[in-house]
Structure 1
Amino acid sequence: MTSPVARVTGPAVGWDAAWEAALAALELDVAEVEHALALREIALDPPDPWTPPVGLGPLPMALADRARALLDRQIEVSRRVAEAAALARRHARAAQGMRSAPEASPVYLDTPA
C-alpha cells in the first residue's frame, strides 16, 4: 500500500504534462484577450465560462513561477477589460445622449479668415 506522503509528493505519470497543458491553454486565453485589447476589439459576447481541469493534482514546484506569472497577467488583463468596459459604457451613454437631444442650431460658426 502506498503512503499518503508518496501520493502527494510523487508525481503520477503525465502529471507535469497535464499541468503544462492546462497552463498553456490559460496562457492562450490571456494572450487572446491581450490581443483584443491591443486592437480595441473586445467581443460583445462573453466566452464560455472557464471550468478548471480535473485530476491535475498539486501544482509541480517547477511550474510555480510560470503559474504565478500567469496569474499576474490574468489580474492585469481583468483590470484592463474592466477599464475598457467602463469606457464603452461612458461612450454608449454619450452616444445615447446625442441621439435623444433635440435638434439644435449652431451658436458659433468657425470660418477661415
Structure 2
Amino acid sequence: MNDWRSAWVAALDDLEADIAQVEELLRTDQFVRDTPPADPWTPPEGMGPLPLDLRPRADRILARQIAAAEGIARAMAVNRRQAAMTSRIELFDSGAAPPAYLDRAM
C-alpha cells in the first residue's frame, strides 16, 4: 500500500471514529453533558487527492455526519421545548405552604 493511500485510510479512520462517538452520544442522551468542545477536522498536509477507491467510504462518512448533525438539531429542539415547559412550572420558594385541597364531601 502506498503512503498516499495509507494517509487517506488513516484520515478516514479518524473521521469514522469521531462520528461514531457523536452517534453513541446521541443514542445514550449524554450529548450535552459529555460532548467535548468542537475540534474541526482538517486533512493532514500533503495528502493529495482522495483515492477513487476510497470515495464510497468517504461518502458514507459524510452521510453519517449529516445524519448526526440532524440528530443534534432535533435534540436541541427537544431541549428547548423542555426548557420552555419547565420555565412555566410554578415553584413554591416563597416560604409559604403549598396549596392544600380539602374534601368537603364528608
Q: TM-score range by the shorter chain?
A: 0.7 to 0.9
1:21-32 mapped onto 2 (5 Å cutoff): 21-32=10-21
Runs of 5+ in structure 2 lacking a partner? 93-97
Specify the SS of the correspondent of 2:88.
helix
Q: Post-superposition shift, 1:56?
A: 1.6
Q: Distance in 1 between matches of 2:75 and 2:100?
A: 32
Q: Distance in 1 between matches of 2:65 and 2:100?
A: 47
1:49 aligns with 2:57: no
Q: Distance in 1 between matches of 2:91 and 2:81?
A: 20
Q: Distance in 2 between matches of 1:47 and 1:102?
A: 33
- What is the root-mean-square deviation in Å for CA atoms of aligned residues? 2.2
**TM-score under structure 2 length normalisation:** 0.76
Q: Distance in 2 between matches of 1:73 and 1:106?
A: 53
Specify the SS of the correspondent of 2:25.
helix
Specify the SS of the correspondent of 2:30.
coil
1:68 aligns with 2:45: no
| Correspondence for 2:88 among 73, 93, 97 | 97
**Structure-2 residue corresponding to 1:33:** 22
User: How high is the sequence identity, in percent, across the aligned residues?
Assistant: 36
Q: Distance in 2 between matches of 1:75 and 1:93?
A: 27
**TM-score under structure 1 length normalisation:** 0.72
Q: Post-superposition shift, 1:41?
A: 0.7
Runs of 5+ in structure 1 lacking a partner? 1-12
* Distance change >3 Å, CA 50–CA 75, structure 1 → 2: same
The CA deviation string for residues 59-90 of structure 1, in whole angstroms up to 9 with x for no partner, is 00010000001111111111011100111111
Q: Distance in 2 between matches of 1:35 and 1:21?
A: 21
